[in-house]
Amino acid sequence: MKIRIQGNTIRFRLSKQEVSDFAQNGEVKDKVEFGSSALVYQLIRHPKDDFSVDFVRGVISVNVPEPIVNNWANTEQVGFESDIVYPNNQKLELLIEKDFQCLIPRTEDESGLYANPQANNN
């Protein structure tokens, strides 16, 4: 799973296996280690109708409504987004997407990613 944080926007990109694991097991997580500490980021499927995000002790937890996860994992839908507005009117934007293979060859292994729909347009 890839994560990109820019300002108050968090974007997650998931491989085919991660999307499958998320749908089947109800969570998917990864981490980046900084010596003796780590930043963990995880998506958790939950039965509520709204999104929520917590950041506690170095763990970013994004709670995603179950119907949205199930629909996304079982269709061609690329992604979904949600804005979370906090009591102080600060807004956090979430974007969760399936990760596509790049159109330009790269050195990283992209075998587990979704085929890029624009690949046939070249």
Question: What total number of domains does the chain contain?
Answer: 1
**At residue 122, does pLDDT exceed 60?**
no
Q: Give the model confidence (pLDDT) of 26-38 as tens digits.
A: 999 999 999 999 9
State how far the Cα of 84 lies from the Cα of 97, in Å rounded to an integer.
17
State how far the Cα of 109 lies from the Cα of 97, in Å rounded to an integer.
18
pLDDT grade for 9, boundaries at 50, 70 and 90: very high
In terms of pLDDT, which residue wins out, 100 or 52?
52
**At residue 68, does pLDDT exceed 80?**
yes
State pTM to two decimals.
0.84
Alpha helices in the chain (DSSP H): 16-25, 66-73
In terms of pLDDT, which residue wins out, 42 or 78?
42
Residue 38 has a pLDDT of: 96
Residue 112 has a pLDDT of: 73
Are β-strands 91-98 and 37-46 bridged in parallel, bridged antiparallel, or unpaired?
A: unpaired
State how far the Cα of 18 lies from the Cα of 24, in Å rounded to an integer.
10
pLDDT grade for 106, boundaries at 50, 70 and 90: low
- What domain range is 59 assigned to? 2-121
**At residue 3, does pLDDT exceed 90?**
yes
